[in-house]
Amino acid sequence: MSVRLFEGKAHAQSYWKYRISPSQEIIDMIINFLHKHRSSPQELELAVDVGCGSGQGTVLLAPHFTRVVGTDVSPAQLEMATQHATAHNITYRESPAEQLPLEDASVDLVTAMSAFHWFDHAHFLQEADRVLKPRGCLALLNYTLDMELSYPDADADTLNAICKELFAALTPYRNPYLGATSMDFYKKAYDTITYSIKEWHESMWLKKTVPLSSFIGMIESFSPYQAMLQQHPEKAKHLSHDITHRLMKTMGVSSPDTEVLMSVRYYCMLACKP
């Protein structure tokens, strides 16, 4: 398998290709939470997806709202979003999470998908509170890196031990600000938010069938792998090559295009403004 070097536009495109988006089940859970706590069954007017990146989560909101706004600080990401993740009722805006281009009390749902951990938490939460309507909701979600693979004839424990080794090798290259996991930021937001209606979900599995090469490509597109590639290029290339071959051996297959079932664990904080 060739190791891709992600630079400039190529990186932006691989980012789009390999990013995982929340499952329909997770989106439905958010929408149900929103409906459940509303006083009347009026239409959902406006959702804002903050740190929308290339918009792969933003599009999933569009069917439920009159209008959706995706915001991000990265013009390159927003350009990808405008190209790939469009619907007539989505608009993308360049803006920081801590200063949203929206009126007070105008928004039914604020989401941040795999993005909240990059924001100034206190300012963002204050800003979300400002733009939310009474009974509007906030949903913060992300996934953990301990993904699991399964393949019909392969021993699951062996496959997952190899994956664990891969994640352990990448851990030292994670942004030190995030530490080993960013789940703590979300839990803390859950603990400190003053809205009395709130829920914490820790184990929602997203299952997706992907070619093994795409699983590896996705890992290579993550920032810890990119950091390793910059600091120790040979080591990084060897790592992905070695892991790919050991996974293939365990699966008993000779093509990296063989499809595997990938399971990703999401966690989510939901809160409803009084």
Ligand X SMILES: *[C@@H]1O[C@H](CO)[C@@H](O)[C@H](O)[C@H]1NC(C)=O
Ligand Y SMILES: C[S@@+](CC[C@H](N)C(=O)[O-])C[C@H]1O[C@@H](n2cnc3c(N)ncnc32)[C@H](O)[C@@H]1O
Note the residues at the interface with ligand X (CB under 6 A).
Answer: 62-63, 66, 87-89, 114, 117, 142, 144-145, 178, 181-183, 223
Q: Closest approach of Cβ 144 to ligand X, in Å?
A: 5
Partner that binds at residue 182, options ligand Y, ligand X, none, CB closer than 5 to 8 Å by kind: ligand X
List CB contacts of 161: < 8 A, sequence separation 6 or more: none
How many C-beta atoms surround the C-beta of residue 41 within 10 A? Answer: 7
What is the per-residue burial (b if ≥16 Cβ within 10 Å, else e) of 134-163?
A: eebbbbbbbbebebbbebeebeeeebbebb
Site for ligand Y in 82-101 (CB under 6 A): 96-97
Partner that binds at residue 72, options ligand Y, ligand X, none, CB closer than 5 to 8 Å by kind: ligand Y
Question: Interacting stretch for ligand Y, rule CB under 6 A, among 28-36, 70-78, 174-182, 265-273?
Answer: 70-78
Q: How many Å apart are CA 88 and CA 164, to the nearest integer?
A: 42
**Of 182 and 240, which has the nearer Cβ to ligand Y?**
182
**Of 1 and 87, which has the nearer Cβ to ligand Y?**
87
Q: Closest approach of Cβ 195 to ligand X, in Å?
A: 23
Residue 127 lies near ligand Y (rule: CB under 6 A)? no
Q: Closest approach of Cβ 153 to ligand Y, in Å?
A: 33
Residue 240 lies near ligand Y (rule: CB under 6 A)? no
Q: Closest approach of Cβ 257 to ligand X, in Å?
A: 26
Q: Closest approach of Cβ 152 to ligand Y, in Å?
A: 30
Q: How many Å apart are CA 258 and CA 212, to the nearest integer?
A: 6
**Would you say 5 and 229 are in contact if contact means Cβ atoms under 8 Å apart?**
yes
Q: How many Å apart are CA 240 and CA 236, to the nearest integer?
A: 6
Q: How many Å apart are CA 44 and CA 35, to the nearest integer?
A: 9
Residue 77 lies near ligand Y (rule: CB under 6 A)? yes
Helix residue ranges, H only, the chain? 8-18, 24-36, 58-61, 75-84, 121-131, 156-170, 183-192, 212-221, 223-231, 233-251
- Residue among 16, 34, 53, 221 that touches ligand Y (CB under 6 A): 53
CA-nearest of 112, 113, 86, 91 to 102 is: 91
Residue 119 lies near ligand Y (rule: CB under 6 A)? yes
Residue 142 lies near ligand Y (rule: CB under 6 A)? no
Would you tell me which residues interact with ligand Y (CB under 6 A)?
A: 19, 51-53, 56-57, 72-74, 77, 96-97, 113-115, 118-119
